């Protein structure tokens, strides 16, 4: 007979790069199970293992990742239906952004751009871009999603020295802010 579906699929523990899955044997026809096929998919990773026990360690995963995991009971007469679960690897620290530069500027606007952290950038949840006018004390911040690594700062005062800081923010902690001095242009026509 074909084994029934495995039940109570859950995460036993999760680390930064691995997840231990555990489940119960099928209620109907558990004696027909020869092994379990454990498959997972997420990002660029897709693979399967065969497990003879009611648990399996999935390794080689990326930090802060979401993965779709499936467990199927396999017997001589065929496969069961699939038990499904979304699993998450743990968060880990990342380093700061790099190559912060001004892409364009005029008397009241700055466009800045940066590169995402090269270590564990998938754990970054957002970027905080802040500015401070050195002579005026004028300051502000804006939040950028991880979909973009640039920001346009508007409403600035002409001919003022500004310090622009970009911080990568995450669940565990934030990166060190990367700073850059920049001056807005004059409003005079040259």
Q: What is the pLDDT of residues 93-119, one digit of tens each?
A: 899 999 999 999 999 999 999 999 998
CATH code, 7-88: 2.60.40.10
At 176 the pLDDT is 92
| Cα–Cα dist 5/49, whole Å | 17
pLDDT tier at 173 (50, 70, 90 boundaries)?
A: confident
| Cα–Cα dist 28/117, whole Å | 50
- Asked if residues 56 and 11 have their Cβ atoms less than 8 Å apart, the reply is no
For the chain, where do the domains classified as CATH 2.60.40.10 start and end?
7-88, 98-183
- Asked if residues 178 and 166 have their Cβ atoms less than 8 Å apart, the reply is yes
pLDDT tier at 189 (50, 70, 90 boundaries)?
A: very low
Q: Give the β-pairing of 150-153 and 110-115.
A: antiparallel
Is residue 182's pLDDT more than 80? yes
- Asked if residues 81 and 73 have their Cβ atoms less than 8 Å apart, the reply is no
pTM, entire model: 0.72
- Asked if residues 45 and 67 have their Cβ atoms less than 8 Å apart, the reply is yes
CATH of 98-183, one of 3.40.190.10, 2.60.120.20, 2.40.10.120, 2.60.40.10: 2.60.40.10
């Amino acid at each position: 007979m074909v084994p029934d579906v495995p039940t109570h699929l859950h995460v036993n523990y999760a680390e930064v790069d691995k997840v231990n899955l555990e489940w119960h044997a099928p209620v109907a026809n558990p004696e027909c199970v020869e092994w379990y096929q454990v498959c997972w998919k997420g990002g660029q990773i897709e693979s399967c293992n065969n497990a003879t026990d009611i648990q399996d360690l999935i390794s080689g995963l990326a930090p802060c990742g979401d993965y779709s995991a499936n467990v199927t009971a396999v017997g001589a007469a065929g496969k069961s239906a699939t038990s499904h679960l979304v699993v998450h690897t743990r968060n880990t620290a990342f380093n700061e952004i790099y190559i912060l530069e001004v892409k364009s500027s005029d008397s009241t606007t700055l466009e800045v751009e940066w590169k995402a952290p090269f270590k564990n950038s998938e754990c970054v949840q957002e970027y905080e871009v802040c500015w401070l006018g050195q002579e005026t004390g004028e300051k502000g911040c804006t939040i950028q999603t991880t979909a973009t690594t640039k920001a346009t700062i508007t409403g600035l005062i002409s001919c003022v020295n500004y310090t622009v800081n970009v911080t990568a923010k995450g669940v565990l902690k934030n990166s060190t802010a990367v700073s850059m001095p920049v001056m807005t242009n004059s409003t005079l026509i040259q």
